[in-house]
Amino acid sequence: MSNNQADFIIAANRLPVDRIVHPDGTQEWRTSPGGLVTAMESVMQDRTGVWVGWAGEAGEAPEPFTTEGGLDVQPVSLSEREFRDYYEGFSNETLWPIYHDVIVEPTFHRRWWASYRTVNERFARAIADVAAQGATVWIHDYQLQLVPALVRELRPDVRIGFFNHIPFPPVELFAQLPWRRHLLRGLLGADFIGFQRSTDAGNFIRACRQLLGASNKGDVVTYQPGSEYAHNKTAINPSGTLAVADPRLVRCAAVPISVDFAGLEALAKTPAVKARAKEIRTSLGDPETVLLGVDRLDYTKGIRHRMRALTELFQDGEITTPSTTMVQIATPSRERVAAYRQLRTQVESLVGRINGDHSGLGSTAVHYLHQSYPREEMAALFLAADALLVTPLRDGMNLVAKEYVACRHDLGGALVLSEFTGAAQELTQAYTVNPHDIVGMKQNILRAINDDPQDRRARMRSLRRRVRNHDVQSWAHRYLAALAAAPDKPVRP
């Protein structure tokens, strides 16, 4: 596709494709499964669109191409050092901890910040190059927070939206960042900023007020670029007036993301997936109760807290093998980051201790699987599980909870859900827990296992109704409608 022809631009850290190398040496780009890709396909049916992102390999970017699903992509290059500094460093050792309640200490390096800024500038130029006049640009997530303002400088004609997939922290935590104002100014280049929860939007608005001197009326922020430098002589131009740009209005609101309900339900209903679910239970020894955990191996996911609750349930005799078993899938994540390597050691130590104390010959207390699985296998696991334990200490949404609900067309199963997930605000019929309260978590796990089957079916029916009516396609259309209706900049008197 030639430049300046796309009227709809998606920008995310990663492209929606993975390079597949076959045994004979041939290669292909295969579309990655995921709700965001599904949502974008639904909104791009009547648009000329392009996806801007990194192809997942360090070095020179591939030439633009079209995916097997017909999506045009514009790869952005990252060097090996930029991957370390911008992605592993600033994005995941500086921003991620701050945005997740400082569960681990953040690390601040000026070199990382410089790389983050450089990569964001590269993304902004790529977007500006492929955007048609008056295009809609939708930028995603914490790796690209400078891009909205950078794109606005290059292309003031385009409509810009930003969606923050992770939590936005209270200003007391956000203020720790040495580059806090730069990030806020970057985000305020957007016309509409979407968040998972109203709390996140409120946190962002308060940060803009306290750190930039912005004002707000409801969910609309009025920002005078440069106003935070009112007492800085360098902000005064030679005529003696304050060197600030025109004021802007930016709407900030919750538009919680969801999953492809229809696609997941259809997958779970296939004979192959239903047969595989039965095979899984048989391979586990046909226990009365199968508990399931599915997480990226991340310190925000509360896996250690879950294992401590499980340990005590076994110790108390509330659950025993072989009648009850737990399957914990921990997808590898950021394994070059020290905090993640330490977490893996801790989780595997806890699992080993549980199995050493409570497993018997032919009956394993916890089946721990440090690997990822295809969608078909995950759907079968969801069908096989009597309860899914979702216990993050902080999570923007947690789509695994919604995927489980979408797959349970049989109205079986139960969802144990941390109150610190965005999903908890929607999935109110789940068995809600505070993962820091081990006693309370134990009690709710037992409730999820032992409640009257009719009560559990009623809960699942309600959960499924919510996810069906608020699926990922409706999320995308709600977001784009909000972006289109976002206020324009105020007219100066």
Helix (H) or strand (E) holding 30: strand 27-31
* Within a domain: 1: no
One domain, residues 80 and 106? yes
Q: Please enumerate in sequence order all residues whose Cβ is within 8 A of that of 202, keeping only pairs 6 or more positions apart, or say none.
A: none
- DSSP for residue 346: H
Q: Report the distance separating Cα 63 and Cα 60, nearest Å.
A: 9
Q: Report the distance separating Cα 296 and Cα 310, nearest Å.
A: 19
CA dihedral 269, 275, 280, 286 (to 10 degrees): 110
Q: Report the distance separating Cα 185 and Cα 189, nearest Å.
A: 7
Which two tokens mark 10?
Answer: 């998606």
Which among 142, 17, 3 is positioned nearest to 86, based on CA atoms? 142
Q: Report the distance separating Cα 440 and Cα 446, nearest Å.
A: 10
Three-state SS for 306-329 is HHHHHHHHHHCCCCCCCCEEEEEE
- DSSP for residue 420: T
* Within a domain: 436: yes
**Bridge partners for 388 per DSSP:** 292, 415
Which among 362, 416, 427 is positioned nearest to 389, based on CA atoms? 416
One domain, residues 209 and 225? yes
Rounded to 5 degrees, what are φ and ψ at 166?
A: -105, 170
* Within a domain: 492: no
Which among 384, 357, 380, 385 is positioned nearest to 448, based on CA atoms? 385
Burial of 68 (0-12, 13-18, 19+ CB in 10 A): exposed
* Within a domain: 353: yes
Q: Report the distance separating Cα 345 and Cα 315, nearest Å.
A: 22
Range list of H helices, 100-232: 110-130, 147-154, 171-174, 180-187, 198-212
One domain, residues 251 and 269? no
One domain, residues 89 and 107? yes
One domain, residues 242 and 283? no
Helix (H) or strand (E) holding 54: strand 49-54
Q: Please enumerate in sequence order all residues whose Cβ is within 8 A of that of 93, keeping only pairs 6 or more positions apart, or say none.
A: 106, 107, 112, 337, 339
21 sits in the region (left: phi over 0; alpha: psi -120 to 50; else beta) called beta
Q: Report the distance separating Cα 457 and Cα 442, nearest Å.
A: 21
pLDDT score at 33: 63
Q: Report the distance separating Cα 307 and Cα 122, nearest Å.
A: 43
One domain, residues 284 and 421? yes
CATH number of domain containing 84: 3.40.50.2000
* Within a domain: 336: yes
Do residues 215 and 248 make contact, with C-beta atoms less than 8 angstroms apart?
no
Q: Which residue has the tokens 């579309």?
A: 31
Tell me how many domains the chain contains.
2
One domain, residues 314 and 461? yes
pLDDT score at 285: 93
One domain, residues 279 and 334? yes
Rg from Cα positions in the chain: 24
One domain, residues 219 and 303? no
* Within a domain: 464: yes
pLDDT tens track, the chain, 493 positions = 444 589 999 999 999 887 777 788 777 777 776 657 767 776 776 677 899 999 988 999 999 998 777 788 999 999 999 999 999 999 999 999 999 999 899 999 999 999 999 999 999 999 999 999 999 999 999 999 999 999 999 999 999 999 999 999 999 999 999 999 999 999 999 999 999 999 999 999 999 999 999 999 999 999 988 765 544 444 434 444 444 567 889 999 999 999 999 999 999 999 999 999 999 999 999 999 999 999 989 999 999 999 999 999 999 999 999 999 999 999 887 777 777 888 888 999 999 999 999 988 889 999 999 988 999 999 999 999 999 999 999 999 999 999 999 999 999 999 999 999 999 999 999 999 999 999 999 999 999 999 999 999 999 999 999 999 999 999 999 999 999 999 875 444 3
Q: Tell me the whole-structure pTM to 2 decimals.
A: 0.91
* Within a domain: 493: no
One domain, residues 237 and 265? no
Which two tokens mark 328?
Answer: 């914990």
One domain, residues 311 and 245? no
Q: Which domain holds residue 302?
A: 261-469
* Within a domain: 122: yes
One domain, residues 268 and 360? yes
Q: Please enumerate in sequence order all residues whose Cβ is within 8 A of that of 11, keeping only pairs 6 or more positions apart, or say none.
A: 51, 52, 53, 123, 126, 127, 137, 138, 139, 140, 144, 147
